[in-house]
Every structure is written in C-alpha cells, then in structure tokens.
Structure 1
Amino acid sequence: MSLVAIGACYVDTILTTPHYPGEDEKLRASSISRRRGGNCPNTLEVLQQLTADLSLDLVAILPAKSSSASRQIQSAFEPHISLAHCIYREELSEPASSYIIKSQSSGSRTIVNYNELPEMTVAEFTNIADYLDPKTSWFHFEGRIPDVTLSCICYLRRQYPSVKISVELEKPGRPGLQELAEEADVVFYSKSWAQGNGYQTAEECIQKQSVIARKASLLCCTWGQNGAVALETKSKSMIHSPAYSAVDFKVVDTIGAGDTFIAGMLYAWLCQGDKWNLSQKLGFANRIAGMKVSQEGFAGLKRALESFNSQ
C-alpha cells in the first residue's frame, strides 16, 4: 500500500516572542527557528516514523529543482518519503513560506503566508495519478484550492473506483470544502472549520456531517483541549477521546498538532485495521498529537507508539 499526500510544502520561519507585538511596536524575539512545514509534509514526516509498511509519496509544488530551497526539502525527506512526483516550477526559486510568531504569554501563534508558486492543475495531477497506479494507493488531500481538488477526486472516482480518499477540512472561510467531504472515504474536520460552519461541539459536527458526507466510512473532528470525536459510519459507533495529558505536561509547540493527529489516525486505520477498535485508534491519534504539542518539532514521535503498545 502506498499513501500519496497532496498539499503545499512550506518553509517555516518561527519567531518566539514574549507577547504579540502591537502596531508599530519594536519587540525582541527570544528565539528563531526554520524548518520545513505544510500540512501534508508534516503528516508524512510523522508517518515515516511509525511504519515502514507504507510507501509514502508527496505531491507538492516546489520551486526550481536546482534551487537551494528544493534541495533542502529533498534532503529533509528522502529516502523515506518520495518527492519523485512533486511538480517543480523551474522559473521560480522562492518556496512557499510561512512566518510564524509564537506568543509565550498566550501560547498561541499567528501565521503569515507567502506563496508565488502557481498551484497544481488538474491535468498535472491526472498525469501523476495514472503513473502512480492508484489501485494500490490511498490519496490524502489537504483541503486546498477546492475546485481543483474536487476535480482531482472525481477523476480518481471515475478512473479508479476502488481507490480510497481522505480529505482535511481546516480553513473555515474557504468555500468548496463541504463538497470535498461529500466525495471522501475519510474526512478530518478541524475545530476552526466546525465553528466557522456553526457547530458548537465536535459531536454536533460529526453527527450532522454524517448525513451530508454519505460516502465516508470515517469522520473525525478535533477540538483542542477537549480531545477529538470519531464516527465509523457503518457501525454508527461514535467515540470521544480526551486530549492526551501526562505528569508535568506542558504545551510547548502547537504548530502541526492537527497534522500529527491525522498521521496517527491514518496509521491506525491503514496499518492496524481491525486489530485496533475505534477507541484505540482515536486514543493513539490523540496521544501522538499531545506528545507533539509538548515538544518542538516532530522528531522522536515514534515513542508515542511504543508507549501506547506498552499500556
């Protein structure tokens, strides 16, 4: 089985500050770090720590293959994650970038994005999909450029009816995400998307979405400190799992927590299957997301699986 993740790949610059700067305020950051970012790249980075049984492919738009940014991204991923099917914009040298301010006083972060790379076209995706042999692949889409993504999903449905598809719905103000949910086998809803669409709780989101996303076999909604809810539509089994906590637990870095949760659920769904029930799958996804929140970056998260198995 191969998992193909389709989404943007960013280079993140993260400034940690005592508080958010006010307008026209001069503020000294306590630290700076740079790392590769993006929802799907983050998910793949975590997945490659958990299993060698999945072949992992990233489909993303990158600047010129010879650019320093693309070389850095390649060295960060390969050989465990294949970038062979990334699309390179040879006329450009700057990657998609995020500039993130992390406030120590509030624990939250503000993100400013910059991206001049032209987005993937449907034709570019179909060429890649045919080459990848979708009959043996699971496709995970970041909810990005919904009209193009929907056309890509519909192409897979027409050409390869047995293919499995998951989608992430994150940005509440992005029109067209609901239509993606209606075509997917697995849907991941963020708290911000759910609240932006009028849902007061994760349970309400999942219950009402189960009537709309009729093709889905699994629906998941994360809700920050209140944990997450998942529904297997065939059995109508809805489970709530509390957020992970431990002795001396402290929030350090929330960037990528949702991406890590998705990695945990995809691992549980694809690699553990019927060996884990829904409660175990959701509990593991919460555990690995919680462990990520308690540290900087994504390194060393395999320990979540080791500690989960030793319970």
Structure 2
Amino acid sequence: MATLIAVGACYLDTILTVEYYPAEDEKLRASQLEKRRGGNVPNTLEVLQQVLRWKSISAPLILLAVLPNRSSPATEEIRASLGPHVDFAHCFYRKTSSVAPSSYIFKSLATDSRTLVNYSDLEEMNTSEFEQAISKFANQPDSIYHFEGRIPDVTAECIDCIRIRDPKATISVEVEKPNREGLQRLAQKADVVFYSKSWAQAQGYQSATDCLQRQTILTPKASFLFCTWGVGGAAALRASDKSIVQVPAYLPHSGHVVDTIGAGDTFIAGVLFGLFYTQNQNMVKTLSFANELAGRKVAQHGFSGLAEKMGQF
C-alpha cells in the first residue's frame, strides 16, 4: 500500500468568531473562541487517516514538519491531535524551542470570511535535513510526497532531491497563496497539482476550468491537475487526454456554511484517497468524492466524523 510522506507546517490555531471585522483601534467582543491544531498538511492527514480507517485500509502516513523540542507540551498536543496513525519520527525537532507555530484566525459572520495572522520563531526546514530524512524511507514501493507549497526555493530543491533518490515516487504540490512567488515553478515539477481559487484569480483565470486548461501547457510533468472554486465547485484535468471533469459545489441538506477552515485541505485528502488508495483512477468518482468530503466539512466545525458521513461512497 502506498506510503504518503506529507511535508508542511504544523500550527496551533486560535479561532475567534466575530460579528464583523473591527476597524483599527476598535474594541470588539468575540462570540466564540476555539483552539485546535492547524496547518494544511496536518489537516489533510487528519482527514485522510479517517477515510483510510473507514475503508479498513492500512497505509503508512508520515509527517515531515518543523516542531518544537520533542518533550514540549506544544509538540505533545500536536501529536495527540493526529493520534497513533501518523508517524512523527522523521519530523525536524528544534531542541531550543518549546513554542509551536501559532495561527490566529478571525472569522467574520457578516462576510463569512476569515483573516489569519501567523507567528513562528522556529528555524525552517532546509534541504540537507530533508535529504537526510527521506534517505530513511526512499525507494519504498508506491511512495507519494505531498508538499504544502511553502518556501518555494527550498521545496523545489527537495523535489529535485526526490527525483534523484526515488525516481518512481509521485509528487503532489499545493499551489494556494496568491502572493507567494515561486509556486508556478513547483507546479512545473509535480505529478499532481492542486490550485486554489485565490491563486488562480490572482493569475487572471476566470474559472477552475480556465485555470486547468491554461496550466496544463505550463506543467509538462503533471498527470492530474485540480482546482477548487468555492461555491463554483471544483474541476480536474487528466493530462493524458486533456479531459476535464467539473462538479458543482456540494452542501449537505442543511445548506449552512459553518466552518470553511481546512476545506481545501479536506478536498486534497479526498483526491489523494481516490487517486492512490482505490482500485481505479476514475476521475468523476475521485472529484465527486473529494468535493462532497469538502462540502460536508464546511457544514461542521473541525474534521471529526467526516468519513462516516460519506455513506453513498
């Protein structure tokens, strides 16, 4: 069974729900406070392990993230949040730090949007560390490396390292932040690419299909491209025949959007499951599954119990 090595940042999130975004120097009382573990890649792992257990599939899930020292309460909290099915043994522990990267998220009820402020004093992963880490499990059958798409220069070097050490591995990359330079270069190196609506719009694309059709020319290595578009649904492109599949946004019967934090990460978990942990790579089923999984996520707080709600699949 495929081994997934997921590379990205791990945060402890503080989420404040407010009626509206306050003006500068304004005092505002939050209506709700929530604390939980965050980070794109850990969120994806949390959902993917749910789906694998739901389908009685046992597969190695390995996290590569920079964390405080091993014995710090922050590291223990992060480990506990993902449980025993995610392997933390290859993470990069900073012995002199006890504080995890933190994210402060403001959710506005008026606009149904969110604003994030991040903080971290941990030294970022470097290429030498990454190369040493993957040397311990390179050339395992059916290895998949999934990158969050942060620090593009270092990530590009890490991908090059994988191509040399583990040439049969599959590499997927998330292209999300519109103001992060170098993400296009990462997309050009990957086998599977996930584009966010915000990044696509910043490049001038008018829809998910517009993004994929134009990106396939710029991503010669990619076998599959995916793009989410919020209420506009999601689309997928298979490079072998340039076929495109598109599905509308999914909402449960309640029709209410409760919590959009991690919706994109949930979508990625659904796609990774469909591509690498099922018997066939049916694009319609894979996209529909990931789209519904993400739709069910936005209708609840957090990620708990998502897999069990996917009964029709």
After TM superposition, the score normalised by the length of structure 1 is 0.96
Alignment-derived partner of residue 37 in structure 1 = 38
SS at match of 1:211: coil
Q: Aligned to 2:257, what secondary structure does the other structure show?
A: coil
- Residue 33 of structure 2 aligns to a residue whose secondary structure is strand
In the alignment, structure 1 residue 82 sits paired with structure 2 residue 87: yes
- How far did 1:224 drift? 0.4
Per the alignment, in what secondary structure is the counterpart of residue 204 of structure 2?
Answer: coil
In structure 1, the gaps of 5 or more residues are none
Mean CA deviation greater in 134-143 or 259-268: 134-143
Deviations 1:249-283 (A, max 9, x none): 20000000000000000001011241x52111101
1:172 and 2:173 are equivalent in the alignment: no
Higher helix share: 1
Alpha carbons 2:19, 2:110 under 8 Å: kept: yes
Please state if 1:108 is matched with 2:113. Answer: yes
* Alignment partner, residue 23 of structure 1: 24
| 1:197 positional shift | 1.2
How far has the Cα of 1:107 moved from its partner?
1.1
1:53: Cα distance to partner? Answer: 2.7
Cα distance in 2 between the residues matched to 1:60 and 1:134: 21
The whole-number CA distance in structure 2 between the counterparts of 1:281 and 1:174 is: 28
Q: Which amino acid aligns with 1:207?
A: Q
1:121-160 map, 5 Å: 121-136=126-141, 137-160=143-166
**Aligned counterpart for 2:99 among listed residues 84, 94, 97:** 94
Kept in 1: contact 2:138–2:165 (CA 8 A) = no
The corresponding residue for 2:213 is: 207
Moved runs in structure 1, 4+ residues, more than 3 A? none
Deviation at 1:247, TM superposition (A): 2.0
* SS state at 2:145 partner: strand
State the AA in 1 paired with 2:135.
D
Matched residues in 2 for 1:251 and 1:61: separation?
A: 32
Q: What is the percent sequence identity of the aligned residues?
A: 53
Please give the alpha-carbon distance, in whole angstroms, between the structure 2 residues aligned to 1:286 and 1:92: 38
Q: 1:255 aligns with which of 261, 265, 273?
A: 261
Tell me how many residue pairs correspond in the alignment. Answer: 307
Tell me if the contact between 1:7 and 1:141 (Cα under 8 Å) persists in the aligned partners. yes
Shift of 1:67: 1.1
* Equivalent residue letter for 1:302: A
Unaligned runs of 5+ in 2: none
Q: Could you tell me whether the CA contact under 8 Å between 1:13 and 1:99 is conserved in 2?
A: yes
How far 1:54 sits from its partner (Å)? Answer: 2.1
Q: 2:237 touches 2:244 (CA, 8 Å); kept in 1?
A: yes
**What residue number does 1:8 align with?**
9
Q: Distance between the aligned counterparts of 2:305 and 2:241, measured in 1?
A: 35
Shift of residue 237 of structure 1?
Answer: 1.4
Per mean C-alpha deviation after superposition, the further-off stretch among 73-82 and 146-155 is 73-82
Cα distance in structure 2, aligned partners of 1:308 and 1:106 = 32
2:264 aligned counterpart, secondary structure: helix
Q: Deviations over 1:87-121 (max 9, x none)?
A: 11111111100000111121111110001111100
Distance in 2 (alpha carbons) for counterparts of 1:55 and 1:146: 26
Report if aligned partners of 2:252, 2:295 keep a CA contact under 8 Å in 1: no
Contact 1:264 1:284 in 2 (8 A): yes
> Which letter maps to 1:243?
A
Q: Distance in 2 between matches of 1:308 and 1:63?
A: 41
Q: Does 1:294 align with 2:299?
A: yes
Shift of the 267–229 alpha-carbon distance from structure 1 to 2, 3 Å rule, reads same
Distance 1:142 1:98 in 2: 16
